[in-house]
Structure 1
Amino acid sequence: MLVPITRQKFEQLIPLVATASQYKYYWGKFPDILQRLLISVVSASIAVIVKTILGSKFDSILFLLGLIGSFYWLWAPVFWASICNVKCRRYKYSGFFQGRILDWWITDELMGQQETVNNQGELVIVENREKRINLEVGDETGFSTQVQAPLRVAYKAIAIGQKVEMLVMSNHTDLSRIEGISELFIPSRELWVNDYPYMRRDIFMEMSHHLRESPEMQTAKHRWHKRRSRD
């Protein structure tokens, strides 16, 4: 079932500025941190070189630019997470989706390639692969979509037929065409299936609890069980 939500609630769910979990996501692993540190060092060095060339004429501007650049390693995760949030907030309409898991499967995805040199001095391409879980979810109206996330041990608890909830986004008033989705929540397991944590999960769970008890949701649940019994 799909229940439209207000713009105000949507902006509460997906804040303009990055949350702590979003910052952690973009903080990344050691290679990501090392790359940001390198950019910070290069930025600070460029500011010093330019100051040496131009003298004291643009001291204040160069100092500010150098300071910002030198702390790139620290503020970059906030910037990139906020950019991701802004892209989501461009959708004009949103809704609360409740459905079921129709199917799931595991795939081995190519995430990227890296060129390196082996002991013989030959150029080789190393593939970066990652196992990911794919979920097909749908509701009693026939709507279905797919969600993909990195495979985790906790996902062993996932089974066909489990109730799922998520936020959907669209530029159509009636949500007839879904153009964006959030992470997936499985209430019975209190389990989130996601790559990037789009939402304020505390607000989503509060909204979920309220809508779960609504008459519309109870009717949809009855129709689902009736359909399953016929199948």
Structure 2
Amino acid sequence: MLIPLRPGELQRLIPAVATGNQFRVSLGNPREVLQRLMIAAIGGVITLLISQSQMSSRWGPFWLVAGVVFLLYVLWGPILQAGQRNATLRRYPAAALFEGEVADVITRERVENRHEQADSRGRLELVENRRTWMLLELEDEEGYLGRVAFPMEKKHQSIRRGSLIRCLVLSERKDFSKIGALSDAWLPGLRMWVGEYPFLLRPAFEELCQRRLTSRR
């Protein structure tokens, strides 16, 4: 079942500015955090040193501000990234609330990253870091809708075929004849959220589901 959103509801459900939960996800793994710290430290130190040598010129304040911006990159980098991800869904002209069920549950191994390391004989070998992902196929009375994929955790083992599931459906077309994207999803029977990235303001989405779906019944 698809229930089109009213004007302004999509923007209230997916914020333009990153939430705390979105910031934590966008911060990334320890390796990505370390990369940001290195960029912030190197860029900040270099620009601050330049600003010290240029304090007597009109460019001194500019380099000082640039140095501070670099030093804060570890904070504003994830915020900017989250805002960009939110914008990918906020741009769609048509959005609808979906209620259906899990048609199938699939698990797959995905390669997270590859790197070379020396073995006991000193020879380089390729090492792959893999992670198990869960893929949920969604459908309703009209048929197949799409797929939600996310890194699998122990709590996700309770998800079964037929589980009730709700999410947002985004499309370029008002009739939703072609689906552009799906948001993260809510399984009310399990009180569980799933998805690779937390697009939705979750309490607001749960409240919307209760209000709009109850009025339909």
The TM-score by the shorter chain falls in which range?
over 0.9
> Which moves more between the two structures, 50-59 or 164-173?
50-59
Per the alignment, residue 46 of structure 1 pairs with 46
| 1:156-186, Cα deviation, whole Å (9 max, x unpaired) | 2111111110001111111111111111111
Output the CA distance in 2 between the equivalents of 1:192 and 1:30: 24
Output the CA distance in 1 between the equivalents of 2:32 and 2:183: 24
Q: Percent identity?
A: 29
Per the alignment, residue 225 of structure 1 pairs with none
| 1:82-133, Cα deviation, whole Å (9 max, x unpaired) | 1111121111110000101111021111122223444544333221211011
Output the CA distance in 2 between the equivalents of 1:125 and 1:202: 44
Structure 1 residue 81: Cα displacement: 0.5
Output the CA distance in 1 between the equivalents of 2:51 and 2:125: 42
| Matched residue type, 1:10 | L
| Correspondences of 1:27-38 after superposition (within 5 Å) | 27-38=27-38
Aligned residues: 216
Output the CA distance in 1 between the equivalents of 2:153 and 2:136: 14
Per the alignment, residue 7 of structure 2 pairs with 7
Q: Secondary structure at the match of 1:15?
A: coil
Structure 1 residue 20: Cα displacement: 0.9
Q: Secondary structure at the match of 1:177?
A: coil
| Correspondences of 1:1-231 after superposition (within 5 Å) | 1-51=1-51, 56-57=56-57, 58-118=59-119, 120-215=121-216, 218=217
Contact 2:23 2:82 in 1 (8 A): yes
Note closer, same or farther for the CA distance 1:62–1:148 as it changes in structure 2 (3 Å cut): same
Per the alignment, residue 228 of structure 1 pairs with none
Q: Secondary structure at the match of 1:148?
A: strand
Structure 1 residue runs of 5 or longer lacking an equivalent are 219-231
Output the CA distance in 1 between the equivalents of 2:89 and 2:62: 34
Note closer, same or farther for the CA distance 1:101–1:121 as it changes in structure 2 (3 Å cut): same
Output the CA distance in 1 between the equivalents of 2:127 and 2:48: 37
Structure 1 residue 193: Cα displacement: 1.2
Q: Which has the higher helix share?
A: 1
| Matched residue type, 1:16 | A
> Which moves more between the two structures, 47-56 or 32-41?
47-56
Contact 1:184 1:193 in 2 (8 A): yes
Aligned-residue RMSD, C-alpha: 1.7
Structure 1 residue 212: Cα displacement: 2.2
> Which moves more between the two structures, 130-139 or 141-150?
141-150
Contact 2:52 2:60 in 1 (8 A): no
Contact 1:7 1:93 in 2 (8 A): no
